[in-house]
């Protein structure tokens, strides 16, 4: 008798404690795309990019891209960082289910922090129209919000993204709190300038009981290419030069301080350390059990 196959199962929740905080990374979805070239290494030859992938045991013509929002229970607030794709794509948008599997309810979320307004980060805000997240305020970078609202520094390739912002984000303006770099969302969670990937792209330093973890959001979009050759152009970066500067500054800081990083598009559980093995060339070291202690 044939034994029926039961389908692929992969982990989609990773939950740990950091000082007083309880933190979950939630895998909202994965897409498989052609590339990484020319999305990554846009200003390089295809063969150069492929050689780097071969050296790292990765396929040359396909890659995977995960979407990993972050949930932090501080004891006083339940804070969701980015909202995944929502209903923008039928294959994704598992976020609300994962919140429940993680032991919470969408009504428990008191704050939603948006790192930037690209579709895979704001898509889930569309769920608010369906009655989800009704107790949450929305924290967003002032520069990011103003840029999308006015269109200033929004490249032509983001035209449909701007329309999405107008449809999903603008109507929520009266629920928003605006934040600048170096300001706190709540005690222990501080905004860090990561501008460039989008005009006001923000990262967050998370600290409790003198322990730190850093949510880098989209500072890196591929765990090999963005890290090992941070100078290569990435199609997804709205301002290439500014994105490169922010990427190198933040990767350099994380490598020096040995602070673990959470990256929205890093392989699940999307947490790792950054090591500078050669000058200006960084390696992603996925975590194992470091956060168990």
Q: Would you tell me which residues interact with Zn ion (CB under 5 A)?
A: 120, 218
| Backbone torsion region of residue 12, taken as left when φ is above 0, otherwise alpha when ψ lies between -120 and 50, otherwise beta | alpha
Q: How far is the CB of 76 from Zn ion (least distance, A)?
A: 28
Q: Give the residue among 223, 186, 179, 222 at the shortest CA–CA distance from 202.
A: 179
**Residue nearer to Zn ion on the CB measure, 94 or 211:** 94
Q: How far is the CB of 118 from Zn ion (least distance, A)?
A: 5
Task: Name the DSSP letter for residue 105.
Answer: -
Number of neighbours of residue 156 by Cβ within 10 angstroms? 6
Q: How far is the CB of 226 from Zn ion (least distance, A)?
A: 12
Cα(225)–Cα(2) distance, integer angstroms: 43
Helix 159-168, helix 142-150: angle, nearest 10: 110
Helices H, strands E: what count in the chain? 7, 16
Number of neighbours of residue 163 by Cβ within 10 angstroms? 10
**175 touches 149 (CB < 8 A):** no
Q: How far is the CB of 225 from Zn ion (least distance, A)?
A: 15
**Residue nearer to Zn ion on the CB measure, 144 or 218:** 218
Q: How far is the CB of 120 from Zn ion (least distance, A)?
A: 5
**Residue nearer to Zn ion on the CB measure, 21 or 268:** 268
**Residue nearer to Zn ion on the CB measure, 120 or 237:** 120
């Amino acid at each position: 008798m044939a034994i029926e196959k039961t389908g692929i199962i992969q982990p989609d929740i990773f939950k740990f404690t950091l000082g007083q905080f309880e933190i979950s990374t939630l895998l909202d979805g994965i897409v498989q795309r052609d590339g990484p070239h020319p999305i990554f290494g846009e200003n390089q030859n295809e063969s150069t990019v492929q050689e780097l992938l071969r050296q790292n045991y990765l396929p040359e013509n396909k890659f995977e891209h995960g979407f990993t929002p972050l949930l932090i229970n501080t004891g006083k607030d339940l804070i969701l960082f980015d909202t995944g794709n929502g209903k923008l794509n039928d294959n994704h948008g598992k976020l609300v289910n994962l919140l429940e599997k993680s032991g919470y309810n969408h009504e428990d979320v008191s704050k939603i922090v948006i790192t930037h307004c690209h579709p895979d980060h704001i898509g889930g805000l569309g769920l608010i129209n369906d009655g989800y997240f009704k107790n949450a305020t929305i924290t967003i970078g002032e520069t990011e919000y103003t840029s999308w609202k006015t269109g200033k520094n929004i490249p032509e390739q983001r035209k449909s993204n701007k329309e999405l912002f107008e449809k999903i984000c603008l109507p929520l303006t009266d629920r928003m709190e605006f934040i600048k770099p170096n300001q706190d969302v709540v005690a222990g969670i501080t905004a860090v300038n990561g501008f460039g990937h989008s005009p006001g792209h923000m990262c967050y330093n998370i600290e409790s009981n003198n322990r730190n973890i850093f949510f880098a959001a989209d500072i890196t979009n591929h765990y090999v290419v963005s890290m090992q050759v941070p100078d290569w152009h990435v199609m997804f970066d709205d301002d290439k030069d500014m994105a490169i500067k922010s990427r190198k500054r933040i990767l350099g800081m994380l490598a020096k301080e040995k602070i673990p990083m959470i990256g929205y598009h890093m392989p699940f559980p999307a947490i790792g350390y950054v090591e500078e093995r050669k000058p200006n060339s960084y390696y992603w070291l996925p975590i194992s059990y470091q956060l168990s202690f």
